[in-house]
């Protein structure tokens, strides 16, 4: 979408081949509907918090069908907006699945189209482990279109999608278990985030089983784990990773080098092993986030059609996980910072947010700064708590600019907010 629009604005003739709905994973079965579901799940707690402020409400009733219909209407609106934006930019829209014939040719619906440049931006697809009975499970793709909510759900995985959907199901009243083969959630994030998120999710009622892997699924649905234990649920959802969506595109036959997982191998400018074929986004399996893909698209358009070679900077990219509570981070984890910089200083704080102090809610907000001991530059900022993504977005600017701990300390906090804790942490944890 973004690469096509900017390329057209730079004077290029552009055609877009799309076999599904416009907007890709994010709009249709990713970020947008996921966050709408997340909002819905959080409302359940808001009713209880409201009582501590003197509000009296009846027993809340949730209707899955209403949420689904409203979500579908919004997604359809976005699909139309994206298609309209492309058309207004002058891009030709080709409906159908395209395959690459050679370095300059694409085939679609029995017709061939030639181009000076070909861009592959086909995203990724959920990956299911090879275990008996896996066909009885769903992935995040199907979770957005369930006819009804299950009474008992098992989510398998420990990354973004797993913790988000475990929180969504639990928040909507589903008895939820999260099973993960690792020792703590959110592999690749700062270890404190995974450990503390598990604590908070357990408080809310999610049953979390770590170092646990399913061995088979049987009709029923009965899940048998590798350790011999078993449980019965009404729905199993695999959130065990996504693989680049390159199967049967003709890329290898055209000479494009693919990684073992099917990712298109590209240089810093998005160019593949074939000079005229480029790739951006999840299909390259570098940093699989929608804003990264759109930035890569803009950079590629500048490189190809504006004579401005531009490489996407993948350092210090902020991200959020819309679990309950939210998680957000920017920069290096403590573990990675120690590997790269040696001696680091770590600052942490944990507290109950002011909004929760009048009631019995025990959720604790957690914040952490990782600082290079030599330069005093803030290398990473991490948070668990309400609106973590909104807060870290602002902190990310400071981290991207190379702000020091002294500059954080010199910034006056906005009181009373959770965000002010990022500029008031003085006591070193390690």
| Whole-angstrom distance, CA of residue 178 vs CA of residue 197 | 12
Phi, psi of 28 (to 5 degrees): -95, -45
DSSP letter assigned to residue 199: H
| Whole-angstrom distance, CA of residue 417 vs CA of residue 414 | 6
| Whole-angstrom distance, CA of residue 38 vs CA of residue 312 | 30
| Whole-angstrom distance, CA of residue 420 vs CA of residue 391 | 10
Contact 22, 45 (CB under 8 A): no
153: buried, middle or exposed (CB in 10 Å: 19+, 13-18, 0-12)?
Answer: buried
209: buried, middle or exposed (CB in 10 Å: 19+, 13-18, 0-12)?
Answer: middle
Q: Is 113 a catalytic residue?
A: no
SS3 77: helix
Angle CA 18–22–24, to nearest 5: 90
| Whole-angstrom distance, CA of residue 323 vs CA of residue 386 | 10
> Token match 């697809």: residue?
125
Residues paired with 118 in a beta bridge: 277
Tell me the CA end-to-end span of the chain in Å, nearest whole number.
45
Nearest to 310 by CA among 271, 356, 274: 271
Six token digits for residue 247: 């199967």
Contact 215, 226 (CB under 8 A): yes
Which is catalytic among the residues 48, 104, 117, 415?
415
| Whole-angstrom distance, CA of residue 162 vs CA of residue 201 | 12
Q: Which residues are catalytic?
A: 415
């Amino acid at each position: 979408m973004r690469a096509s629009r900017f390329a057209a604005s730079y004077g290029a003739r552009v055609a877009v081949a799309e076999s599904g709905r416009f907007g890709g994973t994010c709009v249709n079965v990713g970020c947008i509907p996921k966050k709408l579901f997340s909002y819905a799940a959080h409302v359940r707690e808001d009713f209880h918090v409201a009582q501590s402020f003197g509000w009296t409400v009846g027993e809340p009733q949730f209707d899955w069908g209403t949420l689904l219909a409203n979500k579908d209407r919004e997604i359809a609106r976005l699909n139309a907006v994206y298609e309209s934006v492309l058309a207004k930019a002058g891009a030709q829209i080709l409906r159908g699945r395209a395959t690459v014939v050679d370095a300059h040719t694409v085939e679609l619906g029995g017709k061939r189209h030639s181009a000076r440049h070909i861009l592959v931006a086909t995203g990724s697809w959920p990956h299911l482990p090879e275990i008996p009975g896996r066909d009885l499970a769903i992935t995040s793709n199907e979770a957005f279109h369930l006819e009804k909510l299950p009474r008992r759900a098992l989510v398998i995985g420990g990354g973004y999608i797993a913790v988000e959907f475990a929180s969504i199901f639990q928040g909507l009243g589903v008895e939820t278990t999260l099973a993960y083969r690792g020792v703590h959630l959110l592999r690749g994030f700062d270890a404190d985030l995974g450990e503390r998120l598990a604590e908070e999710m357990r408080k809310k009622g999610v049953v979390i089983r770590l170092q646990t892997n399913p061995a088979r699924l049987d009709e029923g649905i009965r899940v048998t784990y590798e350790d011999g234990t078993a449980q019965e649920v009404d729905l199993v959802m695999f959130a065990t990773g996504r693989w680049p969506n390159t199967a049967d595109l003709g890329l290898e036959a055209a000479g494009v080098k693919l990684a073992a997982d099917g990712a298109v191998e590209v240089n810093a400018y998005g160019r593949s092993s074939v000079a005229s074929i480029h790739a951006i986004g999840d299909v390259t399996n570098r940093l699989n986030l929608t804003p990264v893909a759109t930035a890569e698209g803009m950079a590629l358009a500048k490189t190809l059609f504006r004579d401005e070679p531009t490489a996407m900077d993948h350092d210090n990219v902020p991200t959020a996980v819309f679990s309950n509570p939210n998680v957000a981070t920017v920069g290096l984890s403590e573990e990675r910072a120690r590997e790269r910089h040696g001696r680091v200083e770590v600052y942490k704080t944990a507290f109950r947010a002011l909004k929760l102090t009048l009631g019995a809610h025990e959720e604790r907000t957690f914040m952490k700064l990782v600082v290079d001991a030599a330069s005093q530059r803030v290398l990473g900022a991490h948070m668990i708590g309400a609106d973590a993504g909104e807060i870290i977005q602002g902190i990310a600017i400071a981290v991207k600019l190379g702000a020091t701990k002294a500059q954080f300390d010199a910034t006056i906090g906005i009181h009373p907010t959770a965000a002010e804790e990022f500029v008031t942490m003085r006591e070193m944890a390690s």
